[in-house]
Protein backbone atom coordinates (compact mmCIF):
# COMPACT_ATOMS: atom_id res chain seq x y z
CA UNK A 1 0.00 0.00 0.00
CA UNK A 2 1.41 3.38 -0.99
CA UNK A 3 2.14 5.95 1.71
CA UNK A 4 -0.45 8.34 0.27
CA UNK A 5 -3.15 5.67 0.27
CA UNK A 6 -2.21 4.53 3.76
CA UNK A 7 -2.48 8.13 5.00
CA UNK A 8 -5.93 8.40 3.40
CA UNK A 9 -7.11 5.26 5.20
CA UNK A 10 -5.64 6.40 8.51
CA UNK A 11 -7.26 9.83 8.33
CA UNK A 12 -10.60 8.37 7.20
CA UNK A 13 -10.95 5.80 9.98
CA UNK A 14 -8.84 7.29 12.79
CA UNK A 15 -10.93 8.27 15.85
CA UNK A 16 -11.30 12.06 16.05
CA UNK A 17 -11.49 12.31 19.86
CA UNK A 18 -10.71 10.31 22.97
CA UNK A 19 -14.36 9.23 23.22
CA UNK A 20 -13.96 7.27 19.96
CA UNK A 21 -11.10 5.08 21.22
CA UNK A 22 -12.12 1.54 22.18
CA UNK A 23 -10.56 -1.12 24.40
CA UNK A 24 -8.26 1.36 26.18
CA UNK A 25 -10.68 2.54 28.86
CA UNK A 26 -8.12 3.15 31.61
CA UNK A 27 -5.83 5.09 29.28
CA UNK A 28 -8.69 7.21 27.92
CA UNK A 29 -10.03 8.08 31.39
CA UNK A 30 -6.60 9.28 32.53
CA UNK A 31 -6.09 11.35 29.36
CA UNK A 32 -9.52 12.98 29.75
CA UNK A 33 -8.37 14.40 33.08
CA UNK A 34 -5.56 16.23 31.24
CA UNK A 35 -8.07 17.62 28.74
CA UNK A 36 -10.37 18.81 31.52
CA UNK A 37 -7.51 20.54 33.36
CA UNK A 38 -5.86 21.72 30.11
CA UNK A 39 -2.57 20.62 31.55
CA UNK A 40 -0.46 17.47 31.36
CA UNK A 41 3.02 16.13 32.09
CA UNK A 42 5.32 14.58 29.50
CA UNK A 43 3.79 11.26 28.40
CA UNK A 44 5.19 7.87 27.40
CA UNK A 45 2.81 5.60 25.44
CA UNK A 46 3.97 1.98 25.31
CA UNK A 47 2.50 -1.23 23.98
CA UNK A 48 2.26 -3.54 20.97
CA UNK A 49 2.01 -2.03 17.46
CA UNK A 50 -1.40 -1.16 16.05
CA UNK A 51 -3.14 -0.68 19.40
CA UNK A 52 -3.88 3.06 19.13
CA UNK A 53 -0.87 4.85 20.64
CA UNK A 54 -0.41 7.40 17.85
CA UNK A 55 -4.18 7.72 17.46
CA UNK A 56 -4.53 8.49 21.17
CA UNK A 57 -1.88 11.21 20.91
CA UNK A 58 -3.72 12.85 17.99
CA UNK A 59 -7.08 12.51 19.74
CA UNK A 60 -5.62 14.09 22.89
CA UNK A 61 -4.24 17.04 20.89
CA UNK A 62 -7.57 17.39 19.05
CA UNK A 63 -9.52 17.51 22.31
CA UNK A 64 -7.06 20.04 23.75
CA UNK A 65 -6.70 22.44 20.81
CA UNK A 66 -9.63 21.74 18.48
CA UNK A 67 -9.65 21.15 14.71
CA UNK A 68 -6.51 23.19 14.11
CA UNK A 69 -4.44 21.19 16.58
CA UNK A 70 -1.75 20.30 14.03
CA UNK A 71 -0.28 23.83 14.06
CA UNK A 72 0.50 23.37 17.75
CA UNK A 73 1.99 19.87 17.39
CA UNK A 74 5.30 18.74 15.90
CA UNK A 75 5.13 15.08 14.85
CA UNK A 76 8.34 13.20 14.11
CA UNK A 77 8.95 9.52 13.45
CA UNK A 78 12.08 8.74 15.42
CA UNK A 79 12.87 5.67 13.29
CA UNK A 80 13.58 8.02 10.36
CA UNK A 81 14.74 11.14 12.23
CA UNK A 82 16.46 9.70 15.25
CA UNK A 83 19.84 11.42 15.37
CA UNK A 84 21.08 14.03 17.80
CA UNK A 85 21.02 16.77 15.13
CA UNK A 86 17.24 16.43 14.76
CA UNK A 87 16.82 16.91 18.51
CA UNK A 88 19.22 19.86 18.66
CA UNK A 89 17.77 21.64 15.64
CA UNK A 90 14.21 20.76 14.66
CA UNK A 91 12.85 19.73 18.07
CA UNK A 92 14.68 22.46 20.00
CA UNK A 93 13.53 25.18 17.60
CA UNK A 94 9.90 24.12 17.94
CA UNK A 95 10.04 23.53 21.70
CA UNK A 96 11.50 26.94 22.56
CA UNK A 97 8.98 29.00 20.55
CA UNK A 98 6.19 30.77 22.43
CA UNK A 99 2.51 29.85 22.16
CA UNK A 100 -0.54 32.13 21.66
CA UNK A 101 -2.21 33.29 24.87
CA UNK A 102 -5.13 30.87 24.69
CA UNK A 103 -2.90 27.83 24.06
CA UNK A 104 -1.35 26.55 27.31
CA UNK A 105 1.47 24.57 25.65
CA UNK A 106 2.60 22.92 22.41
CA UNK A 107 3.11 19.18 21.88
CA UNK A 108 6.09 17.35 20.41
CA UNK A 109 5.09 13.84 19.33
CA UNK A 110 8.02 11.45 18.90
CA UNK A 111 6.73 8.24 17.34
CA UNK A 112 8.84 5.07 17.63
CA UNK A 113 11.03 6.81 20.19
CA UNK A 114 12.61 3.48 21.15
CA UNK A 115 14.60 3.72 17.88
CA UNK A 116 16.31 6.97 18.91
CA UNK A 117 20.06 6.82 19.39
CA UNK A 118 21.49 7.07 22.89
CA UNK A 119 23.00 10.51 22.15
CA UNK A 120 19.64 11.79 20.89
CA UNK A 121 17.90 10.56 24.03
CA UNK A 122 20.49 12.27 26.22
CA UNK A 123 19.93 15.54 24.35
CA UNK A 124 16.17 15.11 24.61
CA UNK A 125 16.16 14.74 28.40
CA UNK A 126 17.61 18.25 28.77
CA UNK A 127 15.07 19.81 26.38
CA UNK A 128 12.24 18.19 28.34
CA UNK A 129 13.44 20.08 31.42
CA UNK A 130 14.27 23.44 29.83
CA UNK A 131 11.06 23.98 27.86
CA UNK A 132 8.45 22.15 29.95
CA UNK A 133 6.66 25.46 30.61
CA UNK A 134 5.73 25.88 26.92
CA UNK A 135 6.09 22.37 25.43
CA UNK A 136 5.02 18.87 26.42
CA UNK A 137 6.53 15.74 24.89
CA UNK A 138 4.65 12.57 23.99
CA UNK A 139 6.95 9.61 23.36
CA UNK A 140 5.60 6.48 21.71
CA UNK A 141 7.47 3.17 21.97
CA UNK A 142 6.81 -0.50 21.31
CA UNK A 143 9.68 -1.40 23.66
CA UNK A 144 9.84 1.13 26.52
CA UNK A 145 12.89 -0.62 28.00
CA UNK A 146 14.91 0.97 25.17
CA UNK A 147 14.06 4.43 26.51
CA UNK A 148 16.72 5.58 28.96
CA UNK A 149 15.70 5.79 32.63
CA UNK A 150 16.12 9.59 32.95
CA UNK A 151 13.49 10.10 30.23
CA UNK A 152 11.16 7.46 31.66
CA UNK A 153 11.30 9.17 35.05
CA UNK A 154 10.20 12.45 33.46
CA UNK A 155 7.09 10.93 31.84
CA UNK A 156 3.72 9.64 32.95
CA UNK A 157 3.55 6.04 31.72
CA UNK A 158 0.58 4.68 29.73
CA UNK A 159 0.40 0.99 28.78
CA UNK A 160 -1.77 0.09 25.77
CA UNK A 161 -3.28 -3.39 25.55
CA UNK A 162 -3.81 -5.49 22.38
CA UNK A 163 -7.29 -4.98 20.97
CA UNK A 164 -10.02 -7.50 21.75
CA UNK A 165 -11.31 -9.74 19.01
CA UNK A 166 -14.82 -8.30 19.05
CA UNK A 167 -13.49 -4.74 18.65
CA UNK A 168 -11.22 -5.65 15.73
CA UNK A 169 -13.93 -7.65 13.94
CA UNK A 170 -16.50 -4.90 14.48
CA UNK A 171 -14.17 -2.28 12.99
CA UNK A 172 -13.31 -4.49 10.01
CA UNK A 173 -17.02 -5.06 9.40
CA UNK A 174 -17.62 -1.30 9.59
CA UNK A 175 -14.93 -0.65 6.94
CA UNK A 176 -16.20 -3.39 4.63
CA UNK A 177 -19.77 -2.16 4.77
CA UNK A 178 -18.76 1.45 4.15
CA UNK A 179 -16.54 0.41 1.23
CA UNK A 180 -19.24 -1.86 -0.23
CA UNK A 181 -17.12 -5.04 -0.19
CA UNK A 182 -18.62 -8.55 0.09
CA UNK A 183 -17.10 -10.80 2.75
CA UNK A 184 -17.44 -14.02 4.72
CA UNK A 185 -17.68 -13.80 8.51
CA UNK A 186 -14.99 -16.45 8.87
CA UNK A 187 -12.54 -14.21 7.01
CA UNK A 188 -12.79 -11.57 9.75
CA UNK A 189 -11.92 -14.16 12.39
CA UNK A 190 -8.95 -15.28 10.28
CA UNK A 191 -7.71 -11.69 9.94
CA UNK A 192 -7.85 -11.25 13.72
CA UNK A 193 -5.86 -14.45 14.29
CA UNK A 194 -3.21 -13.24 11.85
CA UNK A 195 -3.02 -9.69 13.22
CA UNK A 196 -3.03 -10.71 16.92
CA UNK A 197 -4.69 -7.50 18.09
CA UNK A 198 -2.78 -5.18 15.72
CA UNK A 199 -5.50 -3.04 14.12
CA UNK A 200 -3.18 -1.50 11.55
CA UNK A 201 -2.04 -4.90 10.34
CA UNK A 202 -5.64 -6.14 10.28
CA UNK A 203 -6.71 -3.26 8.01
CA UNK A 204 -3.75 -3.82 5.69
CA UNK A 205 -4.59 -7.53 5.38
CA UNK A 206 -8.24 -6.68 4.77
CA UNK A 207 -7.35 -4.22 2.02
CA UNK A 208 -5.00 -6.68 0.30
CA UNK A 209 -7.65 -9.43 0.38
CA UNK A 210 -10.38 -7.10 -0.91
CA UNK A 211 -8.50 -6.31 -4.13
CA UNK A 212 -9.16 -9.82 -5.46
CA UNK A 213 -12.91 -9.68 -4.85
CA UNK A 214 -15.03 -11.18 -2.08
CA UNK A 215 -13.04 -11.46 1.16
CA UNK A 216 -12.87 -15.15 2.08
CA UNK A 217 -10.75 -17.22 4.45
CA UNK A 218 -8.78 -18.67 1.53
CA UNK A 219 -8.07 -15.21 0.13
CA UNK A 220 -6.92 -13.90 3.51
CA UNK A 221 -4.36 -16.65 4.01
CA UNK A 222 -3.24 -16.43 0.40
CA UNK A 223 -2.49 -12.69 0.47
CA UNK A 224 -0.47 -12.95 3.69
CA UNK A 225 1.47 -15.98 2.46
CA UNK A 226 0.40 -18.25 5.30
CA UNK A 227 -0.94 -21.79 5.32
CA UNK A 228 -4.40 -22.38 6.71
CA UNK A 229 -4.18 -23.55 10.33
CA UNK A 230 -6.04 -26.78 9.50
CA UNK A 231 -3.37 -27.73 6.95
CA UNK A 232 -0.62 -27.27 9.52
CA UNK A 233 -2.58 -29.24 12.14
CA UNK A 234 -3.18 -32.06 9.65
CA UNK A 235 0.55 -32.18 8.94
CA UNK A 236 1.36 -32.39 12.65
CA UNK A 237 -1.25 -35.08 13.25
CA UNK A 238 0.11 -37.12 10.31
CA UNK A 239 3.61 -37.01 11.80
CA UNK A 240 2.33 -37.86 15.30
CA UNK A 241 0.45 -40.85 13.90
CA UNK A 242 3.75 -42.14 12.50
CA UNK A 243 3.04 -41.35 8.82
CA UNK A 244 6.22 -39.40 8.14
CA UNK A 245 6.00 -39.67 4.33
CA UNK A 246 2.55 -38.07 4.23
CA UNK A 247 3.57 -35.36 6.70
CA UNK A 248 6.63 -34.47 4.63
CA UNK A 249 4.56 -34.32 1.43
CA UNK A 250 2.19 -31.91 3.17
CA UNK A 251 5.17 -29.83 4.30
CA UNK A 252 6.49 -29.59 0.73
CA UNK A 253 3.05 -28.62 -0.54
CA UNK A 254 2.70 -25.86 2.07
CA UNK A 255 6.14 -24.40 1.35
CA UNK A 256 5.71 -24.50 -2.45
CA UNK A 257 2.05 -23.52 -2.71
CA UNK A 258 2.22 -20.64 -0.24
CA UNK A 259 5.86 -19.70 -0.86
CA UNK A 260 6.59 -19.76 2.86
CA UNK A 261 10.07 -19.63 4.33
CA UNK A 262 11.22 -22.16 6.89
CA UNK A 263 10.99 -19.58 9.68
CA UNK A 264 7.38 -18.79 8.79
CA UNK A 265 6.48 -22.49 8.81
CA UNK A 266 8.24 -22.96 12.15
CA UNK A 267 6.24 -20.09 13.66
CA UNK A 268 2.96 -21.59 12.43
CA UNK A 269 4.01 -25.02 13.71
CA UNK A 270 4.67 -23.49 17.11
CA UNK A 271 1.25 -21.82 17.17
CA UNK A 272 -0.64 -24.96 16.14
CA UNK A 273 1.43 -27.25 18.37
CA UNK A 274 -0.66 -26.08 21.33
CA UNK A 275 -4.00 -26.45 19.57
CA UNK A 276 -6.51 -28.85 21.13
CA UNK A 277 -6.93 -30.40 17.65
CA UNK A 278 -3.35 -31.71 17.77
CA UNK A 279 -3.52 -34.91 19.83
CA UNK A 280 -0.40 -35.75 21.81
CA UNK A 281 0.57 -36.40 25.44
CA UNK A 282 1.62 -33.38 27.47
CA UNK A 283 5.14 -34.77 27.88
CA UNK A 284 5.54 -35.03 24.12
CA UNK A 285 4.14 -31.52 23.61
CA UNK A 286 6.76 -30.11 25.97
CA UNK A 287 9.57 -31.97 24.20
CA UNK A 288 8.25 -30.91 20.78
CA UNK A 289 8.14 -27.24 21.80
CA UNK A 290 11.72 -27.49 23.05
CA UNK A 291 12.98 -29.19 19.89
CA UNK A 292 11.07 -26.77 17.61
CA UNK A 293 12.84 -23.90 19.35
CA UNK A 294 16.17 -25.50 18.42
CA UNK A 295 15.00 -25.95 14.82
CA UNK A 296 13.97 -22.29 14.61
CA UNK A 297 17.37 -21.20 15.91
CA UNK A 298 19.11 -23.28 13.23
CA UNK A 299 16.88 -21.75 10.54
CA UNK A 300 17.70 -18.23 11.73
CA UNK A 301 21.38 -19.12 11.58
CA UNK A 302 21.02 -20.16 7.93
CA UNK A 303 20.35 -23.91 7.95
CA UNK A 304 18.42 -25.51 5.09
CA UNK A 305 14.64 -25.09 5.52
CA UNK A 306 13.62 -28.45 4.09
CA UNK A 307 16.19 -30.48 6.02
CA UNK A 308 15.44 -28.88 9.41
CA UNK A 309 11.64 -29.03 9.14
CA UNK A 310 11.73 -32.58 7.78
CA UNK A 311 13.93 -33.48 10.75
CA UNK A 312 11.32 -32.04 13.10
CA UNK A 313 8.53 -34.10 11.51
CA UNK A 314 10.75 -37.20 11.65
CA UNK A 315 11.42 -36.52 15.33
CA UNK A 316 7.66 -36.32 15.98
CA UNK A 317 7.10 -39.64 14.20
CA UNK A 318 9.86 -41.39 16.20
CA UNK A 319 8.78 -39.90 19.55
CA UNK A 320 5.15 -40.94 18.99
CA UNK A 321 6.26 -44.56 18.51
CA UNK A 322 8.53 -44.49 21.58
CA UNK A 323 5.74 -43.05 23.74
CA UNK A 324 3.14 -45.34 22.22
CA UNK A 325 0.90 -42.51 21.01
User: Residue 195: is its pLDDT beyond 60?
Assistant: yes
Task: Specify the range with the lowest mean pLDDT, choosing from 8-12, 214-218, 253-257.
Answer: 8-12
Task: Specify the range with the lowest mean pLDDT, choosing from 1-10, 191-200, 220-229.
Answer: 1-10
Residue pair 30/157 in contact (Cβ under 8 Å)? The answer is: no
Write down the pLDDT at residue 15. Answer: 56
- DSSP 8-class letter at 131: T
Q: Which CATH architecture has domain 3-159?
A: 3-Layer(aba) Sandwich (3.40)
User: Residue 284: is its pLDDT beyond 70?
Assistant: yes
Residue pair 194/220 in contact (Cβ under 8 Å)? The answer is: yes
Residue scoring higher pLDDT (17 or 208): 208
Average pLDDT rounded to a whole number, residues 148-174: 89
Write down the pLDDT at residue 7. Answer: 47
User: Residue 16: is its pLDDT beyond 80?
Assistant: no
User: Residue 1: is its pLDDT beyond 50?
Assistant: no
For the sheet with 73-77, list strands across it: 73-77, 106-111, 135-141, 42-46, 155-159
Q: Tell me which of 1.25.40.10, 3.30.9.100, 1.10.10.370, 1.20.272.10 is the CATH number of domain 229-323.
A: 1.20.272.10
Q: What residue spans define the domains of the chain?
A: 3-159, 165-223, 229-323
**DSSP-assigned states of every residue in 196-233:** TT-HHHHHHHHHHHHTTSSB-HHHHHHHTT---HHHHH
User: Residue 206: is its pLDDT beyond 80?
Assistant: yes
pTM comes to 0.74
What are the beta bridge partners of residue 13?
Answer: none
Q: Which CATH architecture has domain 165-223?
A: Orthogonal Bundle (1.10)
Q: How far apart are CA 235 and CA 264, in angstroms?
A: 15
Q: 79-118: per-residue pLDDT in tens?
A: 566 667 777 777 787 778 777 777 888 888 888 888 888 8
Q: How far is CA 257 from CA 115, 225, 226, 238, 269, in A?
A: 36, 9, 10, 19, 17
Amino acid sequence: MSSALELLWVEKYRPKSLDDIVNQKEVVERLKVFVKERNMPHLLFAGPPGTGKTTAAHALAHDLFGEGYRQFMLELNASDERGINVIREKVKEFARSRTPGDIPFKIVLLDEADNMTSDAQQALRRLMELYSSVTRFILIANYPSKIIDPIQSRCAFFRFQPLRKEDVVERLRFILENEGVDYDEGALDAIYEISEGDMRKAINVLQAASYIGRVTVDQVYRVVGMAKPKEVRDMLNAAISGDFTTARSMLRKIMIEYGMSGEDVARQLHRELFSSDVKMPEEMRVLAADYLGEVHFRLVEGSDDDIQLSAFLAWLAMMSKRLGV
